């Protein structure tokens, strides 16, 4: 007979938090909302986490380390710089495709919340920018990329563009019909690598 899975209450709470944070935003969610959503008692949240902040921090760290790994993974391959950037974009867009609620939380409540959690995790966030910048710099050295754009500038532009597109989908600014993620990835990489102007 099927047994109820061993209720990992900690995970339960974390997953509930994703849903509530995504739905209401971090500030607007009370700890009791998380507990209710998880179906556990109020105090249990504090049994596993030292504060409401801690819950979000954990969510971010968990996810962001995957991104960092993915970028470095992409950088290690023999692919062209363009392909590497494509891989990075793919990873991020796929993350959104697979868990839009979590990505919404990460972006809206951490990455772009520069005065609160963004500040806390600035170092980790910056590490991603720098890893992307390294891909650009390598591309410039190999001649694949033009040399007159500072790598960090290119990196920030690239990442900023990605986040803006995600925000657009998250908040309905970009029509959902355009949300074919593979196409989005191609368009973005094309724009950044080839530019908007047609080649001679």
Question: Which residues make up the interface to a copy of itself (CB under 8 A)?
Answer: 25-28, 82, 108-109, 112-116, 118-119, 122, 125-126, 129, 136, 139, 143-146, 148-150, 152-154, 156-165, 167-168, 170-171, 173-175, 178, 184, 187-188, 190-200
Q: What angle do CA 123, 133, 94 make, to 5 degrees?
A: 80
Residue 50 interacting entry, from DNA, a copy of itself, none, C-beta within 5 to 8 Å by type: DNA
Query: Restricting to residues 3-42, which ones interact with DNA according to CB under 7 A?
Result: 7, 9, 28-32, 40-42
* Residue keyed to tokens 């990505």: 103
The item of a copy of itself, DNA, none sharing an interface with residue 79, based on CB under 5 to 8 Å by kind, is none
Shortest CB 38 distance to DNA, Å? 9
SS3 29: coil
Cα separation, 17 vs 11, in Å, equals 10
Residues 6+ apart with CB under 8 A from 154: 133, 136, 145, 192
The answer to whether 107 and 166 are in contact (CB under 8 A) is yes
Residues contributing to the site for DNA (CB under 7 A): 7, 9, 28-32, 40-44, 46-48, 50-53
């Amino acid at each position: 007979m099927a047994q109820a899975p061993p209720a990992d209450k900690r995970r339960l709470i974390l997953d509930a938090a994703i849903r509530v944070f995504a739905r209401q935003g971090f500030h607007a969610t009370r700890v009791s909302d998380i507990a209710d959503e998880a179906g556990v008692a109020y105090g249990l949240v504090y049994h596993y986490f030292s504060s409401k902040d801690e819950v979000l921090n954990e969510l971010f760290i968990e996810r962001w380390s995957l991104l960092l790994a993915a970028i470095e993974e992409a950088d290690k391959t023999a692919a062209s710089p363009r392909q590497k950037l494509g891989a990075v974009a793919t990873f991020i867009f796929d993350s959104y495709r697979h868990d839009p609620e979590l990505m919404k939380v990460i972006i809206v409540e951490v990455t772009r919340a520069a005065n609160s959690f963004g500040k806390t995790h600035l170092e980790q966030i910056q590490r991603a920018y720098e890893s992307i910048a390294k891909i650009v710099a390598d591309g410039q050295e190999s001649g694949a990329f033009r040399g007159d754009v500072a790598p960090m500038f290119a990196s920030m532009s690239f990442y900023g563009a990605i986040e803006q597109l995600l925000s657009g989908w998250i908040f309905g600014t970009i029509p959902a019909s355009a949300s074919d993620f593979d196409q989005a990835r191609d368009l973005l990489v094309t724009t950044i690598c080839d530019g908007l102007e047609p080649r001679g």
